[in-house]
Amino acid sequence: MAFRAAVITFPGSNCDRDMAVAIERASGSAPLRVWHADAELPERLDFIALPGGFSYGDYLRSGAMAANSPVMRGVKEQAERGVPVLGVCNGFQVLTEAGLLPGALMRNASQNFICRTVALTVENSQSLFTGGYDQGQTIRIPVAHHDGNYFADEDTLDRLEGEGRVAFRYAENCNGSRRDIAGVLNAAGNVLGMMPHPERAVDTAHGGTDGLALFEGAMRTLADA
């Protein structure tokens, strides 16, 4: 059966198309495009993606308003049932605001927006999303954000590290994130939030394809399950 993924578009999302292209490249099936005001998320999804952008213009706090959007009720329900959820950049911010992931994304330490291809270390290659990488592998993925400075209290950070929930770390910290954290998993391992944009590194024309293994790895794991 065809891979059934959904990409959610909030007002102000701007990486939704890029995410859909990457998922289709990896899975061979075009994902469903879901508008945030649709209270009913389609059922029987294999994968849900919250894309990057500036939902609601980052007004109030990045991701805060989207986290209360009607469609998020469905995302939470399906996440609790184990459906994989990937949030990239603003999608990560939405997941923390929605309480699906711990911590918060604060303004970059430099105070400036930063767009740069950075080196990441794969900290956990055993998760649903990172099975396409080797443990400790260095990959190069672009970041583009103003609020990517990951913060959580020390106890939470210790717990994340202890439970292997730090998925990616910056090889060189570009935004002030605590413990260089670039991406985190939920306790069950089916929700990943990350600031770097894997969907911008899936095509040789992008200058690198290190993001493709994330999508392909996840699709493969799901197909085997």
Partner 1 sequence: MATVESAITPEVVEQHGLSPEEYERVLNALGREPNLVELGIFSVMWSEHCSYKSSRLHLKKLPTEAPWVICGPGENAGVIDIGDGQAAIFKMESHNHPSYIEPYQGAATGVGGILRDVFTMGARPVANANALRFGRPEHPKMQHLVKGVVSGIGGYGNCVGVPTVAGETNFHPAYDGNILVNAMTVGVADTDKIFYSAATGVGNPIVYVGSKTGRDGIHGATMASADFEEDADAKRPTVQVGDPFTEKLLIEACLELMATDAIVAIQDMGAAGLTSSSVEMATNGKAGIRLDMNKVPCREEGMTPYEMMLSESQERMLMVLKPGKEEMAAAIFEKWELDFAVIGEVTDTRHMVLEFDGEVVCDIPLGPLAADAPEYDRPYLSKDDYTAWAGIKPMQQRPDTSDVGGDVMKLLASPHLSSRRWIAEQYDSQVGADTLQTGGDAGVVRVHGTKKALAITTDCTPRYVHADPYEGGKQAIAEAYRNLCAVGARPLAVTNCLNFANPQRPEIMSQFVHALEGMGAACRELDFPIVSGNVSLYNESKATGGGSAILPTPAIGGVGLIDDYATMMTMPFKAEGEAIYLIRAEHWATPDPERSHLGKSLWLSEIHGRDEGRTPPTDLTVEKNAGKIVLQLIADGLVSAVHDVSDGGLAIALAEMAMAGGIGAEVEWHQDYTQAQWWFGEDQGRYVVTVPDTDALNAALAKGTEDDETASIGFRRIGRTGGNTLFGNSIDAMRAAHHSFFADWMEG
Q: How far is the CB of 91 from partner 1 (least distance, A)?
A: 14
Q: Which stretch binds partner 1 (CB under 8 A): 76-84, 93-101, 178-186, 202-210?
A: 202-210
Q: Which residues are the active-site residues?
A: 89, 197, 199
> Binding marks (x or -) toward partner 1, 144..183, rule CB under 8 A?
x-x-------------------------------------
Amino acid code (one letter) for 75: V
Residue with tokens 């997941």: 95
Q: Can residue 15 be called a binding residue for partner 1 (CB under 8 A)?
A: yes
Pairwise CA distance, residues 141 & 42, whole Å: 30
* Contact with partner 1 (CB under 8 A) among 3, 5, 7, 18: 18
b/e burial code for range 18-57 (CB count within 10 A of at least 16 → b)? bbbbbbbebbeeebeebebeeeebeeebbbbbbbbbbbbe
- Exactly one of 203, 216, 220, 222 binds partner 1 (CB under 8 A); that residue is 203
Distance CA 64, CA 58 (A): 8
**Residue burial 153-170, b: 16+ Cβ < 10 Å; e: rest:** eeeebeebeeeebbbbbb
122 near partner 1, rule: CB under 8 A: no
* Stretch near partner 1 under the rule CB under 8 A, chosen from 68-76, 111-119, 128-136, 155-163: 111-119
Q: How far is the CB of 219 from partner 1 (least distance, A)?
A: 18
Helices (H) and strands (E) in the chain, counts: 5, 11
64 touches partner 1 (CB under 8 A):
no
Contact between 93 and 147 (Cβ < 8 Å): yes
Q: How far apart are CA 164 and CA 196, in angstroms?
A: 19
Q: Would you count residue 39 as binding partner 1 (CB under 8 A)?
A: no
The one among 6, 103, 200, 219 contacting partner 1 by CB under 8 A: 200
Question: Would you count residue 24 as binding partner 1 (CB under 8 A)?
Answer: no
Number of residues engaging partner 1 in binding (CB under 8 A): 32
Place of tokens 């303004």: 107
CB contact at 8 A, 151 and 203: no
- Is residue 199 near partner 1 by the rule CB under 8 A? yes
Binding site for partner 1 (CB under 8 A): 11-12, 14-15, 17-18, 21-22, 37, 52-54, 56-59, 110, 112-116, 142, 144, 146, 197, 199-200, 202-203, 205-206
